[in-house]
Structure 1
Amino acid sequence: MKRLFDLMLAVLAGCILLVPVLVVAALVRLTSKGPALYWSDRVGRNNTIFKMPKFRSMRVGTPAVATHLLADPKAHLTPIGSFLRKSSLDELPQLWSILVGDMSFVGPRPALFNQHDLIELRTQQGVHALVPGLTGWAQVNGRDELPI
């Protein structure tokens, strides 16, 4: 039932958000070199790796690590990267991951493939068995300011 809800909502949201998605994609391309989308290797259900699309908010060549691990994260942002992140517009392409079944609307945010400490903790607690989500507890309770 949850999968059916995810599919119906993703199709509806995709139709409603088609124009904003195209506008953001164009703005990313116009304000920085490289593709509009960044395909991030993420950990999905049962610790399988999948490719999650996001609008590119960081410059091409930025290391694939959690933002807090970069020496100067602001130096890697594109001209509109900060706005995309603060407004969560960079997350819109994740509707694709919901459509193909890699993600759900609600669930634990998918970890980066190299966040081994987080992956280990989630596995110990059984969280790895859940389908990752576009939004979840962490987004409501502080996002990047939360400890692992």
Structure 2
Amino acid sequence: MSRGYLRAKRALDLALAVPVVVVTLPVQAAVAAVVWARLGRPVLFRQQRPGLHGEPFDLLKFRTMHPATPGREDDAARLDPAGTVLRSTSLDELPSLWNVVKGDLSLVGPRPLLMRYLDRYTPEEARRHDVRPGLTGLAQVNGRNATTWEDRLRWDVEYVDRACLRLDLEILCRTALVVLRREGVSAPGEATMAEFRPLPATTRTEVSP
């Protein structure tokens, strides 16, 4: 991946993210008020996620779930009705634009998953961390959370191999359509996204290079 591409990609991130942050400030304030009224404080959800080369950073999103309590442990029980709307419209991810401005995220790249997944990837799947994670990526425009984990990781690695500005712009355009259509917000039979529980290494299918 050339330095020229990386510089251009960073310039694109800032050229798009900064104006969107400014323009959506009233929307973010309104969403924050709804979250505070429905879920209380804190309004923001902060969680460590693996960034470039697996280095952790604090991902920011609006809260969409109630705290886990006895009888309310699973995502379906914790997910607030207002949170469902925020997730389906992707409004919960507006604070993540601040991560893009800071440089933790890019607009386009493999989605940052959970720290505990790091030792579950095959060496080929772990290549998804060779680039900066993104708000959207090939996996998000090819089924989002409605696809299998194997497919999602395959799309992530394909992005690493094909990354270029033309592909980034194509993904951004396709993402707008996916968000408008509210496609693939959750996995089949799940309130959000199923846990990544890979098969034993002897039975797993490697992601194709």
Alignment of 1:1-148 (within 5 A): 1-61=8-68, 72-116=74-118, 120-121=121-122, 123-125=123-125, 126-148=127-149
Letter aligned with residue 138 of structure 2? W
Which stretch of structure 1 is more off in the superposition, 6-15 or 70-79?
70-79
Q: Give me the whole-angstrom Cα distance separating, in 2, the residues matched to 1:117 and 1:86.
A: 30
The total of aligned residue pairs comes to: 139
TM-score norm. by structure 2 comes to: 0.62
Deviations 1:1-50 (A, max 9, x none): 11011112111101111110110011000111221100011111101111
- Higher relative CO (Cα under 8 Å, sequence separation at least 6) belongs to 1
Q: Give me the whole-angstrom Cα distance separating, in 2, the residues matched to 1:142 and 1:117.
A: 25
Which ranges in structure 1 are unaligned for 5 or more consecutive residues?
Answer: 63-69
Q: Give me the whole-angstrom Cα distance separating, in 1, the residues matched to 2:68 and 2:43.
A: 14
Which stretch of structure 1 is more off in the superposition, 71-80 or 125-134?
71-80
Q: Give me the whole-angstrom Cα distance separating, in 1, the residues matched to 2:30 and 2:63.
A: 14
SS for the counterpart of 2:67 is coil
Q: Give me the whole-angstrom Cα distance separating, in 1, the residues matched to 2:130 and 2:113.
A: 13
Letter aligned with residue 54 of structure 1? K
Letter aligned with residue 85 of structure 1? R
SS for the counterpart of 2:116 is coil
Which ranges in structure 2 are unaligned for 5 or more consecutive residues?
Answer: 1-7, 150-209
Q: Give me the whole-angstrom Cα distance separating, in 2, the residues matched to 1:117 and 1:88.
A: 29
In the alignment, is the contact (CA less than 8 A) between 1:33 and 1:60 conserved in 2?
Answer: no
Between Structure 1 and Structure 2, whose CA radius of gyration is higher?
Answer: 2
In the alignment, is the contact (CA less than 8 A) between 1:29 and 1:35 conserved in 2?
Answer: yes
Query: CA 1:71 to 1:38, structure 2 compared with 1: closer, same or farther past 3 Å?
Result: closer
* Higher share in strand: 1
SS for the counterpart of 1:128 is helix
